[in-house]
């Protein structure tokens, strides 16, 4: 019987992998399917909490690599994974997204001649300064199955010389997860728990090096958030990386004392989903949040010069403002005042219908049975 190993390591991987794992085990209980957690995110707030809320089983294997620089973390995953796969070699190794664990697993699969499937293939920001962009390009170059979320991804892959028969437009498994858990998230009523009025607050999440790894950039963003918080409540879900940088730059006390700025440790998946679905606007640098707000119809202001998810600009509510905090404030306040298109005008991207995982498994069935 076919054997498939699914590799997860960081928060976004769990939302993307959960529906695929469920489909594989539901449709093929006789297949050998393993969930392997690299331990890239080992904090309960960023890892185990998501597994519980997504009702994913405990990983069959936890490599426990922990934190480190990009090079150190990638190398640790490669060493541990190679040792594991030497003892039990799967027919397919499946990776998700663009984190360090994704790249490490792709390189190991390539060296060991294990066929690789990449879920969320073909996305491009065309900015090689982003570690995630390098991870995406290399992973796609060595993948046998490239499962794409939007039409631009297929264009990118064909431009890079990928054969058409290896590309499969299946939709977005992160949206599968969102649609499955949307009702449960709404029932949590996180806005009320945070003491804010639905539609009258802004959610903030930041973690990209370009925003948080430079003291001047972090100070500028914090000043802008303080100004925004003086006009409307701001709920800031603080990523561990960002929390550490605030401490490093001596800005933590200022952030926590700012009037109207509510600082929270990383929220669980359902809590965060509940919070953004009732927000008046979201300010972020996260790729996944750009997609989630597109489906939810919530105005999204992205603090980046580019996005690898252009469909969120053409079909969704996303707008890029780069590092221009003045534009960020203008867009956020306009959204709160209702001067932007919201839910009734949203066009849901093609195949973002909750069935992406089904399509992925159907493709693998055809390949593995031939």
Same domain, 125 and 243: no
Same domain, 238 and 358: no
**Cβ–Cβ under 8 Å, residues 353 and 248:** no
Q: Kindly report the three-state secondary structure assignment for every residue of 129-153.
A: CCHHHHHHHHHHHCCCEEEECCHHH
Same domain, 289 and 341: yes
Known catalytic membership, residue 168: no
Nearest to 111 by CA among 144, 134, 78, 71: 78
**Domain encompassing residue 211:** 184-345
Classify residue 177: in a domain, yes or no: no
In the predicted structure, residue 13 carries a pLDDT above the cut 70 = yes
Same domain, 277 and 238: yes
What is the pLDDT at residue 341?
46
Across residues 103-127, what is the average pLDDT? Answer: 98
**Cβ–Cβ under 8 Å, residues 358 and 23:** yes
Across residues 106-120, what is the average pLDDT? Answer: 98
What is the pLDDT at residue 265?
87
- Residue 139: CB atoms within 10 A of its CB come to 26
Same domain, 254 and 284: yes
What is the pLDDT at residue 370?
65
d(CA 101, CA 140): 14
Classify residue 130: in a domain, yes or no: yes
Burial of 315 (0-12, 13-18, 19+ CB in 10 A): middle
Classify residue 178: in a domain, yes or no: no
Same domain, 196 and 109: no
d(CA 224, CA 217): 11
Same domain, 208 and 246: yes
| Cβ partners under 8 Å of residue 57, min gap 6 | 21, 35
Classify residue 131: in a domain, yes or no: yes
Classify residue 24: in a domain, yes or no: yes
Classify residue 179: in a domain, yes or no: no
Is 61 in a helix, a strand, or coil? strand
pTM: 0.93
Q: How many residues does the chain have?
A: 370
Alpha helices in the chain (DSSP H): 11-27, 48-53, 70-87, 100-112, 131-141, 151-159, 173-188, 190-193, 209-212, 215-229, 240-248, 252-257, 269-277, 287-296, 311-314, 325-336, 356-369
Residue-wise pLDDT for 133-163, tens only, equals 999 999 999 999 999 999 999 999 999 999 9
Across residues 187-198, what is the average pLDDT? Answer: 95
Strand-pairing partners, residue 12, are: none
Nearest to 59 by CA among 120, 103, 101: 101
Mean pLDDT of the chain: 92
Across residues 168-177, what is the average pLDDT? Answer: 98
Is 250 in a helix, a strand, or coil? coil
Residue percentage of the chain with pLDDT more than 70: 95
Across residues 265-276, what is the average pLDDT? Answer: 93
CATH number at 284 reads 3.40.50.2000
- Residue 150: CB atoms within 10 A of its CB come to 25
- Using CA atoms, how far residue 32 sits from 1, 89, 119, in Å, is 7, 11, 19
Half-sphere exposure of 282 (CA within 13 A, CB side): 31
Please report the sign of the dihedral spanned by the C-alpha atoms of residue 211, residue 213, residue 218, residue 220: negative
Residue percentage of the chain with pLDDT more than 90: 75
Classify residue 123: in a domain, yes or no: yes
Residue 127 per-residue DSSP state: -
What is the pLDDT at residue 11?
86
Classify residue 276: in a domain, yes or no: yes
Same domain, 144 and 77: yes
Across residues 36-43, what is the average pLDDT? Answer: 75
Same domain, 35 and 111: yes
What is the pLDDT at residue 257?
87
Same domain, 34 and 63: yes
Same domain, 13 and 125: yes
Q: How far apart are the first and last CA of the chain?
A: 13
What is the pLDDT at residue 29?
96
pLDDT tier at 293 (50, 70, 90 boundaries)?
very high
Residue-wise pLDDT for 52-105, tens only, equals 888 888 899 999 887 777 788 899 999 999 999 999 999 999 999 999 999 999
d(CA 254, CA 364): 52
Nearest to 132 by CA among 299, 309, 317: 309
Is 235 in a helix, a strand, or coil? strand
In the predicted structure, residue 195 carries a pLDDT above the cut 70 = yes
Across residues 182-209, what is the average pLDDT? Answer: 94
What is the CA 209 to chain-centroid distance, rounded?
16
Set 37, 207, 239, 331: catalytic member = 207
Structural tokens at position 172:
């977005």
Same domain, 109 and 203: no
Residue-wise pLDDT for 303-355, tens only, equals 999 999 999 999 889 999 999 999 999 999 999 987 554 545 568 999 999 99
What is the pLDDT at residue 340?
55
Across residues 101-119, what is the average pLDDT? Answer: 98
In the predicted structure, residue 48 carries a pLDDT above the cut 70 = no
The tally of domains found in the chain comes to 2
**Cβ–Cβ under 8 Å, residues 355 and 79:** no
């Amino acid at each position: 019987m076919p054997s498939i190993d699914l590799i997860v390591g960081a928060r976004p991987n769990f939302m993307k992998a959960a529906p695929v794992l469920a489909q594989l085990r539901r449709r093929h209980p006789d297949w050998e399917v393993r969930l392997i957690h690299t331990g890239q995110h080992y904090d309960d707030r960023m890892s185990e909490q998501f597994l519980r809320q997504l009702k994913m089983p405990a990983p069959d294997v936890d490599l426990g690599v922990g934190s480190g620089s990009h090079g150190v973390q990638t190398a640790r995953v490669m060493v541990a994974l190679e040792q594991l796969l030497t003892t039990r070699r799967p027919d397919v190794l499946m990776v998700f997204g663009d984190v360090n664990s994704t790249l490490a697993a792709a390189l190991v699969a390539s060296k060991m001649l294990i066929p690789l499937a990449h879920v969320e293939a073909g996305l491009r920001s065309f900015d090689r300064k982003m570690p995630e962009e390098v991870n995406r390009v290399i992973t796609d170059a060595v993948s046998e199955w490239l499962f794409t979320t939007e039409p631009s991804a297929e264009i990118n892959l064909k431009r890079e010389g990928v054969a058409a028969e290896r590309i499969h437009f299946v939709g977005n498994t992160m949206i599968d997860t969102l649609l499955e858990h949307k009702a449960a998230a709404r029932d949590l009523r996180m806005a009320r728990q945070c003491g804010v009025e639905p539609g009258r607050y802004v959610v903030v999440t930041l973690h990209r090096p370009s925003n948080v790894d430079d003291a001047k950039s972090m100070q500028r963003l914090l000043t802008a958030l303080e100004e925004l918080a003086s006009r409307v409540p701001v709920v800031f879900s603080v990523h561990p990386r960002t929390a550490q940088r605030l401490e490093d730059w001596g800005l933590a006390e200022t952030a926590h004392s700012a009037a109207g700025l509510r600082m929270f440790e990383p929220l669980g998946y359902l809590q965060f989903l509940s919070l953004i679905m009732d927000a008046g606007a979201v300010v972020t640098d996260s790729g996944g949040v750009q997609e989630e707000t597109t489906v939810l119809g919530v105005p999204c202001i992205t603090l980046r010069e580019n996005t690898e998810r252009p469909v969120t600009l053409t079909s969704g509510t996303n707008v890029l403002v780069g590092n221009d905090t003045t534009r960020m404030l203008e867009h956020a306040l306009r959204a709160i005042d209702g001067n932007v298109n919201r839910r009734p005008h949203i066009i849901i991207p093609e195949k973002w219908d909750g069935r992406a995982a089904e399509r992925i498994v159907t493709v693998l069935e055809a390949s593995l049975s031939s």
